[in-house]
Chains A and B, each alone.
Chain A
Amino acid sequence: MDFSIFGYQFMQNAILTGVLGGIACSIIGVFVVLMHMPFIGVCMSHAAFAGALLGMWLGFNPLIGAFVLSLLAAAVIGPLADRGELNPETSVGVIFSLMLGLSFLFIGLMPGTKSGALELLWGNILTNTRGDIILLAIVAAVIVVLVLVFFKEIQATIFNRDMALSVGIPATLILYAILFLTGATITVTLRSVGGLLIFSLILNPAAAAYQLTYNMKTMFLLSAGFGVLASLAGLMLSYFFNLPSGATIVVTSSVIFLLAAVFSPKRKVKSWQQKTLTENTA
């Protein structure tokens, strides 16, 4: 195999993007998994995609469009999650389909070639610039620092928002901060992984870590490790087998999840619970 490719700037940029994006996405994933809000994350990532396309169509920075629209989606969905409304999935489903519809509408309205729009759809980690990486590094650093500094408040909010509020923790503020960071992470990784695939990189590493530990700190670390592993392994596979990078990263993260699910020690808990349930109902 020819490894001289690693001497090139674009490949070094891609590796950096993989590491930073893997960390940022997978830490956000821990919030998404433990707070049971995967639909919200899916909705926000599609809103970011629609916003980026709007920017491309109207000629302003796609990242600004992505950030604004994902935050708008969060502003609509956040209160539903905050109030603990029953079945917020219906509203989220409506917004999700609206965002997807808007995305394709903007692609249709875009004059000329659609290659830039399609790149946002599939993602391409190899085209990231130094500016993109600096932005990604800032977002990843902010997320890591906030988790380290406010771990106990975050832990309580993730465990039970009502309980956190009742002991004097501003859990609502923390929920909105998490949604804000989710929007920021999706925005800065959109170009690398793609609007349709970004959410898998958020969800899969965290879901894999969830299978393997009963300790939240370990879950954050495992998730970040799996995120980086999926990004780098996906990048290598895409290079050596000439595959689309975003899709390969996502498939790699799914394989990590499947392996974690197969070897999960928590499967025993499930079978133990089912056994107890059967005994109780017998």
Chain B
Amino acid sequence: MSDAIISIKKAVVSYREDIALRGVSLEVKSGEFVSIVGPNGAGKTTMLTVVNGLGKLLQGSVRVLGQSLGYGNGHSLRKRVGYVAQVQNIDPRMPVNVREVVMMGRYGIMGFLRRPGKNDWKIVDEMLELVGMVHLASRPIGHLSGGEQQRVSIARCLAQEPEILLLDEPTASLDWRAKNDILELVGLIHDARGLTTLFVTHDLSALPNTCDRIVLMKEGIIWSQGIPREQLTDENLSALYDIPLASVKQRREQEMVI
């Protein structure tokens, strides 16, 4: 693939004695929506940290947006890569409101010694509008529900005007409706803004419909990858999650009934 916007080659990452990635290679084209699926501890989140330069490579190389990731250039790269993490436990007394949180997305690209200007606030308000959170703009961030906080995180990420969007289990611990709302929003944003998106989840019910490719990960390696229909077979899921095939089939039938 020559037009890859993200190119990971034989990446090895280790946290103390645990090896999180064991020589993983992955290429992602500009505008592609890739979902990374696998059980807990498969190395999915580490894949994202490798892309935004927060994961320390022991071996291998990473090239993102035409830049080779090395010591010291992570900050400049991260200004072009948006990151949405899982719902965080935010102190309800935290003295920061929703509008300020969204503005934080612009702090990196603004650089030191520059204060938010009219244009920055205009972009922030547009993003709040996009995610349907204008009515809560002046609320303290800690007073919002999990689903609302995730919408704010997505608005913050978009205010950054990123070229790549990284989503790390953005629907974890959300209720069914909030989960669907977020998935729909992510799909819309990806299409409307022409982003390249990496979406990590361990939950198969939290996969966006717009996804172009599924990467299945297990024990720090890419176990299989391809188009969703071919990858999310009962046999693959049984092997990926170490669940008997009959249980996977039964579960699928239940979901279809529901």
Q: Please list the residues of chain A having a beta carbon within 8 angstroms of any beta carbon in chain B.
A: 34, 149-150, 152-153, 155-156, 159-160, 162-170, 210-211, 213-216, 218-219, 266, 269-270, 273
Contacts and interface: CB of A to CB of B under 8 A. Distances in A.
A213 to B, nearest CB: 6
Nearest to B139: A214
Interface in B64-123: 75-79, 81-83, 85, 88, 92-97, 100-101, 104-110, 112-113, 115-116
A169 B160 CA distance: 12
B54 interface: yes
With most chain A CB atoms within 10 A of its CB, the pick from B92, B101, B108, B156 is B108
Contacts of A266: 92-93
Contact of B116 (A152, A169, A215): A152
Contacts of A155: 96, 100, 104
Nearest to A162: B85
Contacts of B96: 155, 159, 214, 216
B112 A168 contact: no
Contacts of A164: 104, 107
B93 A152 contact: no
B93 A210 contact: yes
Contacts of B116: 152
Contact of B54 (A153, A166, A170): A166
A216 B95 contact: yes
With most chain B CB atoms within 10 A of its CB, the pick from A156, A164, A213, A214 is A214
B140 interface: yes
B9 interface: no
B52 interface: yes
A219 B8 CA distance: 44
Nearest to A218: B95
B162 to A, nearest CB: 9
Given A168-B109, A269-B93, A273-B92, A214 B140 contact: yes
B143 interface: yes
Given A168-B75, A168-B76, A156 B107 contact: yes
A167 B95 contact: no
B123 to A, nearest CB: 14
B107 A269 contact: no
A175 to B, nearest CB: 15
Contacts of A218: 95
B54 A167 contact: no
A213 B93 CA distance: 8
A170 B78 CA distance: 11
B160 A163 contact: no
Contacts of A213: 95
Contact of A169 (B52, B85, B95, B107): B107
B100 A166 contact: no
A152 B106 CA distance: 10
A166 B54 CA distance: 8
A35 to B, nearest CB: 11
Contacts of B76: 168
Contacts of B79: 167-168
Contacts of A214: 93, 95-97, 140
Nearest to B159: A167
B107 A159 contact: no
Contact of B108 (A34, A168, A269): A168
Nearest to A166: B83
Nearest to A165: B54
Nearest to B143: A269
Contact of B92 (A152, A162, A269): A269
14 contacts: A152-B115, A152-B116, A153-B107, A156-B107, A160-B88, A164-B104, A167-B107, A167-B108, A168-B109, A214-B93, A216-B96, A216-B100, A270-B92, A273-B92
Given A34-B94, A168-B75, A170-B75, A150 B104 contact: no
Interface in B197-252: none
Nearest to A160: B88
Contacts of B156: 163, 167
Contacts of A270: 92
Given A150-B112, A152-B110, A168-B107, 14 more contacts: A159-B94, A163-B104, A164-B104, A166-B52, A166-B78, A166-B81, A167-B108, A168-B108, A168-B109, A213-B95, A216-B96, A266-B92, A269-B143, A273-B92
Nearest to B115: A152
A165 to B, nearest CB: 6
**8 closest pairs, A vs B, by CB?**
A168-B108, A168-B79, A166-B83, A167-B108, A168-B78, A214-B140, A156-B104, A216-B95
Nearest to B111: A168
A157 to B, nearest CB: 10
A133 B162 CA distance: 48
